[in-house]
């Protein structure tokens, strides 16, 4: 009787061990006597104990931080940069067979790729063109992890840390740039004003009546201030006409 009970228990254990249930986001990489056989799931999967083994693989997107890396930019500036990487398994067979730990391998590869890609750019590009740098790092990582059945879907640079000396230098550079632009705008304004004044002077020199009207307009503006003493020059052609008239009279 004890033998029968033991036999039933063994059978029950084998049945339980042979039944595997995989969720929608899981797959099972099945090995038969150590050799790859197939990828199964999701749902109910029957595994033959002892001769078959199965490794679960999660297909959901994984997110991990890349620790701060010391990066020397192309213009010899030392900065600390960290990032976040989004990846997922697209081929469970390769993810299990081709690499021992695809998460750790991708993390280490991300660190070296971050230093390599950012080291080819200057500090200004690192601060201003972050989206393009994200795309460059993502493309390099995705190409190298393709052999592992891993898809790197996105890379985001999180922080770029500068030392205090470099922060002050950037602030001085920005202030100098603002002053330069202000001087350029002022000089352009002076140039445009001088061109307009030159054009007006040329027009007045060609038309004597226009010059007289300008005199009268200036006199009207000055006369608005009652406390002013006005000394207004009389054009020689007007003075000459008055003298001729007085002599005839």
Q: Where are the domains of the chain?
A: 2-58, 62-162, 164-206, 217-249
Looking at residue 199, its pLDDT comes to: 75
Q: How far apart are CA 103 and CA 222, in angstroms?
A: 84
Give the domain 62-162 fold.
Tetrahydropterin Synthase; Chain A (3.30.479)
| CA–CA distance, 74 with 95 (Å, rounded to integer) | 35
Rounded to whole angstroms, the Cα distance separating 213 from 216 reads 5
Q: Tokens representing 75?
A: 């213009």
Residue among 115, 151, 109, 150 at smallest CA distance from 133: 115
Provide the pLDDT for residue 25. Answer: 93
Beta carbons within 10 angstroms of residue 103's beta carbon: 14
Q: What's the rounded Cα separation, in Å, for the pair 159 and 71?
A: 12
Token output for 214? 């300008």
Residue 49: is the preceding peptide bond cis (ω within 30°)? no
- What is the C-alpha to C-alpha distance for residues 51 and 121, in angstroms, rounded to an integer? 54
Output the pLDDT for position 218. 66
Each residue's pLDDT, cut to its tens digit, for the chain (249 residues) gives 666 676 566 666 667 778 889 999 999 999 999 999 999 989 999 888 888 999 999 999 999 899 999 988 888 888 899 999 999 999 999 999 999 999 899 999 999 999 999 999 988 888 888 899 999 999 999 999 999 999 999 999 988 888 766 656 665 666 666 777 878 888 888 888 787 777 776 766 666 656 666 666 666 666 665 555 666 565 555 555 545 655 665
Determine the pLDDT at residue 125. Answer: 87
Strand segments (E) across the chain: 19-22, 26-32, 35-40, 43-46, 52-58, 62-72, 78-89, 150-161
Measure the CA–CA gap between 183 and 180, rounded to whole angstroms: 5
pLDDT at position 84: 95
């Amino acid at each position: 009787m004890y033998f029968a009970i033991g036999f039933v228990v063994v059978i029950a254990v084998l049945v339980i061990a042979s039944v595997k249930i995989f969720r929608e986001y899981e797959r099972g990489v099945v090995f038969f006597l150590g050799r790859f056989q197939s990828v199964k799931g999701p749902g109910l999967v029957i595994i033959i104990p002892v001769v078959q083994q199965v490794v679960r693989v999660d297909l959901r997107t994984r997110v991990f931080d890349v620790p701060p890396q010391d990066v020397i930019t192309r213009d010899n500036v030392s900065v600390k940069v960290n990032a976040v990487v989004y990846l997922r398994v697209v081929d469970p067979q390769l993810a299990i067979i081709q690499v021992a730990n695809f998460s750790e391998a991708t993390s280490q590869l991300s660190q070296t790729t971050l230093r390599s890609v950012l080291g080819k750019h200057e500090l200004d590009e690192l601060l201003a063109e972050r989206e393009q740098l994200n795309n460059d790092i993502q493309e390099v990582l995705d190409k190298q992890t393709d052999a592992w059945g891993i898809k790197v879907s996105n890379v985001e640079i999180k922080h770029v840390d500068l030392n205090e000396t470099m922060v002050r230098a950037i602030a001085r550079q920005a202030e100098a740039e603002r002053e330069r632009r202000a001087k350029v705008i002022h000089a352009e304004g002076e140039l445009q004003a001088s061109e307009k004044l030159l054009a007006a002077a040329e027009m007045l020199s060609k038309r004597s009546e226009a010059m007289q009207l300008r005199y009268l307009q200036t006199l009207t503006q000055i006369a608005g201030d009652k406390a002013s003493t006005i000394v207004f020059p009389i054009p020689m052609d007007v003075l000459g006409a008055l003298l001729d008239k007085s002599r005839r009279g």
